[in-house]
Amino acid sequence: MQEPSLLKHLRDIIIFPFMITVVIPWLLYNKNQALIPDHIIVKIAGILLFIIGIFLFLYTNFLFKTVAKATLAPWSPKQNLVVKGPYRYCRNPMITAVLCILFAEALYFHSTNIFCFGCFFILTNTIFFIKVEEPYLTKTFGEQYLDYKSKVGRWIPTLKPYQQA
C-alpha cells in the first residue's frame, strides 16, 4: 500500500482540523455573549493551551505520516498502529490536541459558544470512536490493538507509558 502524498495530508487537515478549529469557531464567535471572564490570566491560560494543542497536533500528524503511513482522515487506511510518543499515554492525542485548541480559543476570546462547541466536539468524537473507529482498529490490528486499548485510556492519559508485548 502506497503512503499518502503531502497534498492528501494537507487536504485532510483542511477538511477536518482547520474547519473544526478555525471556520466553525469563527462562525460561532459572538463578542456580545461571554460567560467566560475577559481577564489577562484567562487569556494567558488560553495561549498556553493553544501552544500545547498546536504542538500535540503537529507531532501526532507527523507520527501518522511516518508510522501509520496514513493521513488523519477516517477513510485513510492505516498501515501500522501508532503506539509511539503521546500515543503511549492516550489513544486519541490528536483529538485531544484539537480539543485543547478549541478550549484555548474559548478562553482567549472568552466565548461560551466556542466552549459549548468543544463539549459537543468531544461528545460526538466519543460516539464516533466507540461505534466506528475502535471496531475498525480491532478488525485491522486485532490482538495488538486490543492489548493497546486495554492499557491506554481513550481521552485520559495513563501515567505509565504503553509497552508493546
pLDDT tens profile 85-95: 999 999 999 99
User: Binning pLDDT at 50, 70 and 90, where does residue 45 land?
Assistant: very high
Q: Which pLDDT does position 152 carry in this prediction?
A: 96
State the chain's mean pLDDT as an integer: 92
The per-residue pLDDT for 1 is 63
User: 146-158 pLDDT, tens per residue?
Assistant: 999 999 999 888 8
Percent over 90 (pLDDT), the chain: 72
Enumerate the β-bridge partners of residue 90. Answer: 153
Report the length, in residues, of the chain. Answer: 165
Question: Whole-model pTM?
Answer: 0.91
Instruction: Judge whether residue 36 has pLDDT over 70.
Output: yes
Stronger pLDDT, 65 or 4, i.e. the higher one = 65
Domain edges within the chain: 6-27+34-151
Q: How far apart are CA 97 and CA 115, in angstroms?
A: 15
Q: Is the pLDDT of residue 63 over 80?
A: yes
Q: Over pLDDT 70: what percentage of the chain?
A: 98
Distance (Å) of CA 121 to CA 96, 140, 158: 10, 26, 22
pLDDT at 121: 97
Return the pLDDT at 136: 94
- What is the Cα–Cα distance from 69 to 38, expressed in whole angstroms? 42
Question: CA-to-CA distance for 96 and 55, rounded, in angstroms?
Answer: 11
pLDDT at residue 38 tops 90: no
Buried b / exposed e over 59-86, threshold 16 CB at 10 Å, is bbbebbbebbbbbbbeebebebbbbbeb
- Residue 74, pLDDT > 90, answer no
